[in-house]
Structure 1
Amino acid sequence: MTPTGAPGAVPATLPAPVAPGRLGEALDPAEALAYLSALGDWLGRRRAELDALDREALASAEPARFTGDVTLAMTLWQAVADREAQLRALWDSGRTSRDDRERMAALVWGRRSTAAAGATSSALELSVPEAGRLLDAVVGELRERLGLEESGAQTTARVAALRAQLERLRDQTALEPAGAGRQRAGEHVAGLASRLAAAVAKAERGGDVGGVLGPIEVEAATLERDLIVGGARRREAGALVARVRQERAELARRTATLGALAERCVSTVAEAPRYAVPDVDGLGPLPNTAPALVAYENRLALVGRAVTFAEEAYGRALRGHDDRLARLEGLRVKAEALGRATEPDLARAYAMAREALDARPSHAALAEQLVTLYATYLQASARTTTEVR
C-alpha cells in the first residue's frame, strides 16, 4: 500500500465545537444539548479522520516520523471521548437537575489528566476545549506533513479557521508570564497575522495561496500546541510547588510537636529512646525547577518517615508509663473497695510504686516490678479475706 498524498484523500474535519457556559455555572439545557450533539458528531468525524491519517502515516516512506503525532492525537481524542461519555451520562436524555448541569460545566471546563493508561510521560491537565484545540492543531500539522491538506475551493474556510486560530493564539499569549517568552510569542503571532493578511490580499487579486497558507497553518498549529502544553506544564509546576510547600510546612509542624514529645518523654521515662529531632530547615529552601522540586519532595518524605518512627517510639514509651500508672490506680481502687487499702503491706507497696512512677525520670523496669508487687500483695490479701469467710 502506498500513501495517496493527494489533497482530499482524507477529508478534513471542522474544528472542535465551541463549549458553552463557564466553570462554576450550570449549563443552559438547550446549549448543553446542542454542544453534546456537536461534540459527538465532531468526535465521530475526527476519529474517522485519525484512522485515515494513521493509515497514510503507516504507508509513508518514513512512518516513524509520524508516530509521536499520531499517538498524541489518539490520546487527546480518547481524553475528549471519555469526557463526552461522562457528560452524556450526566445529561441522561435531558433528565438533569441544576446540580447535574453544574457538574457538566465542571467536566467541560475543569482541567483533568489526558495521560493514556500506562503512559510513562507526565499527563497534561487540560479542559475539553483545550484538548479539542490541541487535537485540532496536532491533526492540522499532521495533515500538512503528510501532504494531504486541501486548497482551492477551501481557501476561504482555511483563512477563516486561521483567523480564529490567531485569535486563540493572542488569548493564549496573554496568559503567558510576563517576560521574553510572552514577547517572542506575541511577535510570532503578529508575524503570522501579517503573513495571513498578505496571503488574503494575494487571493483577492486572484493569486494562488495554497502553498502560502500551508506553512502558516503548520506554524500556527505548532505555536498553539506549544502554548497549550506550556500552560499545562506551568499549572503542573505551580501545583507541585504548592504541594511541596504544604508538605514542608506540615513536616515543620510535626517536627516541632516531636521535639516537645521527645522532651516530655525523656524527662518522664529513664529508658526513653534517644532519637534526634530532624531539622526541616536543614533541607534548605524550596528549589525553583521541577526536577529539583521532585528530589526535594523525596527528601521530605524520607524525613517524614524518620519523624513517624520517632513519634511512635516516644509515644510507645509514654504510653507504657501511663499504662503502669493507670494499672496502679485501678488496683488501688480495688483495694479500697475490699477495705484493704490501709493494710501496712499494701500501703507500703502502693507508696513505693507510686514513688517510682512519680520520679522524674521514672525507671520503667523498677516501676513495673513495684506495680506487680502491689498487685501480688492485693491478690494475697483478697485470698486471705476469702479464706476467712
Structure 2
Amino acid sequence: MTAVPQQHPDPGVVAPAAPGRLGVPVQAPEAQTYLNALREWVAQRRADLGEVDRAVLRLSQAEQVAITNDLTVALTFWKAVSDRLTLLETTFDGGRVGPVEAERLSTLIHGRLDSNTTEHLSLPSSGSLAVSLPEACRLLDSLTRTLQARASLAPGAAEASQRITLVRAGIERTRDQIPLVPAGAQRDAASEKLARLDRRMDDLVERARRGADVGGIIGPLEIDVATLERDLIVAAAERASAARSRVRTQQQVEELDARAAAIRALERACLEAISPAPRLAIPNVRALGPVPQAPAELAAYRDKLERVSRALDLAHETYAAGLAERDEVVGLAGAVAAMAAAARLGAEAQADVAELRARLDETLATKPLPIGRAGALAAAYQAYVDSVTRPVTRPATRPARPSAPRTQRPRP
C-alpha cells in the first residue's frame, strides 16, 4: 500500500498588516479587508496549534514537558487575539461604521489587549505583558513556527528551500527590531546573537547549494531565530509598557501635588476657624524625587505614592470635618434663634433666651472659635428654647368615684 503523505500546516501564513495607527480612525473598507484576512489567519493559527498539540502527545514525557509551556503561552495569545477579533467584528457591525466606530476600531486594533480584561497575557520569563493586537499576532507567528519545528511538524527536506526563505524573513524582521533596542549592553547582545544567526544562515545556504541534507540543522536555526524575534518583541512591549507607566506615574505626582496644596489651604482655614484644631502632617510628594526609570525602582516609587495618597485622604477628611463641625454649630444657632423669634414667649423667657443668645453670639464671634464651648452653648440654647416653646401637656385626671351611702345599723 502506498503511504499517503501527511499534510502539514502552511508555515508561510503570516498575520495581516494592521491598518492605520493608534488615534487614526479606521474606515470601513480597510477595516473589512483587515477583518477578513485576520479571520482566516486566526482559523489557520488555531489549526496549526491543534496540530502541534496532537503531535506533542506522541512525544516522550521529557519532550512534552519542554514544549507544553510554550504551547500554553501560544494558546493564551491566540485566545486574546480571537477575543479581540470578536470585539472588532461586533464594532464593525457589517460595515455600519460611523466616526465613533472608526475611532473605536483603531483603539481596538492598536490598543493593549489586556486593557479591558482581568487576565494579562504572560510569558514564563517576564510575567505580565501588555501588547497590541499586531504585536500579539507577530508574536504568535513566531511562537507557532518555533512549536512546529520543535514538534517536527514543519515540512520535510523536500521543502527545505521554502523553510530557508521563511528563516531569512524571520532574520530580517529581527534585524528591523535591533534599532528599537536602547543603545548599550542589551543592543550589543542582541546584535551579537543576530550576527551568529547570520553566520549559521550563510553556512546552511552553502550546504544546501552543495546538495547536502540540511533537514537536521534547519530546525534548530528556525527555533533560535523565532526565539530571538519573540524576545525582541517582548522587550519592546515591556519598554512601551514601562514608558506608559512612567507617564501615568508623573501625572499622578502632579495630581497629588495639586491635592496637597489644596489640603494645606484647607488646613490653614481650619486652624484659623476653630480651636482646638486637628493637626496632621501633610506629605510633600516632591520630596520623593523624580520618577525613576528602572522598573523595580518605579514599582517602589508607585508604592510610596500610594501611601502619600492615603495620608492626603486622611488629612482632607480630618480638616474638612473640623470646618463642618463649625458650620453645624453656626447653623444650629441660627435655626434655634428663628424658632425662638417665631414663638410667643413671656417676658421672663425672652430675657433668658436673649441672655443665652448673647453668650452664644459672643462665643461665635471669637476667632478661632472654641468649638467645644460653642457646641455646649448651642446645645443649651436649643434645649432651653425647646422647653419654653413646646406645649405643656398635663396628664388627664380621673373623676372621683362616688362613694356608696353608708347604712346605719339599728342600735340594740
User: Do they fold alike, i.e. is TM over 0.5?
Assistant: yes
**C-alpha contact 2:19 2:34 (8 A) present in aligned 1:** no
User: Match for 1:248 among 239, 250, 253?
Assistant: 253
Shift of 1:86: 1.5
Of the candidates 11, 17, 21, which is equivalent to residue 19 of structure 1? 17
Structure 1 residue aligned with 2:168: 163
Deviation string, structure 1 residues 68-125 (Cα, Å, up to 9, x no partner):
1011110011111111112222233333335434422332222322988488874322
Aligned residue identity for 2:171: L
Q: Is the 8 A contact 2:275 2:370 kept in 1?
A: yes
Q: Distance in 2 between matches of 1:371 and 1:344?
A: 17
Matched, 1:224 2:210: no
| Preserved contact between residue 19 and residue 35 of structure 1 (Cα < 8 Å) | yes
SS at match of 2:282: coil
Q: 2:374 aligns with which of 364, 367, 371?
A: 367
User: Deviation of residue 49 (structure 1)?
Assistant: 1.9
Gap regions ≥5 residues in structure 1 = 1-6, 385-389
Give the gaps of 5 or more residues in structure 2: 392-412
How far apart, CA to CA, are the structure 2 residues paired with 1:89 and 1:371? 64
Query: Counterparts of 2:133 and 2:362 in 1: how far apart (Å)?
Result: 71
Question: Quick check: 1:182 aligned with 2:182?
Answer: no
Tell me the distance in 1 between the aligned counterparts of 2:107 and 2:142.
Answer: 24
Moved more, 117-126 or 180-189: 117-126
Note closer, same or farther for the CA distance 1:97–1:255 as it changes in structure 2 (3 Å cut): closer
Q: Deviations over 1:148-201 (max 9, x none)?
A: 332433233323323332332232222222223223323433443454345445
State yes or no: 1:59 paired with 2:58.
yes
What's the CA shift string for 1:27-48, capped at 9, x where partnerless? 4544433332222222222212
Residues 40/180 of structure 1: CA separation in 2 closer, same or farther (3 Å cut): same
SS of residue matched to 1:54:
helix
Select the structure of larger CA radius of gyration.
Answer: 2
Q: Is the alpha carbon distance of 1:100 and 1:281 closer, same or farther for their aligned partners in structure 2, counting shifts above 3 Å?
A: closer
Greater shift in the superposed pair: 255-264 or 230-239: 255-264
Question: Normalized per residue, which structure has more helix?
Answer: 1
| Aligned partners of 2:264 and 2:282 also within 8 Å | yes
Give the drift of 1:219: 1.8
Number of the residue aligned with 2:38:
39
Q: Distance in 2 between matches of 1:128 and 1:120?
A: 14
What's the CA shift for 1:321? 0.6
Q: Is the 8 A contact 2:274 2:322 kept in 1?
A: yes
Where 1:123 maps in the other structure, the secondary structure is strand
After superposition, the Cα gap between the structure-2 partners of 1:204 and 1:125, relative to the gap in structure 1 and judged at 3 Å, is: same
| CA distance 1:18–1:167, change in 2 (3 Å) | farther
Amino acid at match of 1:110: G
Match for residue 326 of structure 1 among 331, 334, 358: 331
With over 3 angstroms needed to count, the CA separation of the structure-2 counterparts of 1:131 and 1:116, relative to structure 1, is farther
Distance 1:308 1:118 in 2: 30
Which sits farther off after the overlay, 218-227 or 279-288?
279-288
Answer yes or no: is the 8 Å Cα contact 1:13–1:42 preserved in 2.
no
- Paired with 1:69 and 1:329, the residues of 2 have a C-alpha distance of 74
Q: CA deviation at 1:237?
A: 1.8
Tell me what 2:72 maps to: 71
Alpha-carbon offset, residue 285 of structure 1: 4.9
Counterpart Cα distance in 1 of 2:205 and 2:277: 83
Cα distance change, pair 66–33 in 1 and its aligned pair in 2 (3 A): same
Q: Are 1:277 and 1:307, in contact at CA under 8 Å, matched by a contact in 2?
A: yes
Superposed CA RMSD in Å reads: 3.2
The alpha carbon displacement at 1:355 in A equals 1.9
Distance across 2 between alignment mates of 1:175 and 1:307: 40
CA contact (8 A) 2:73 2:122 kept: no
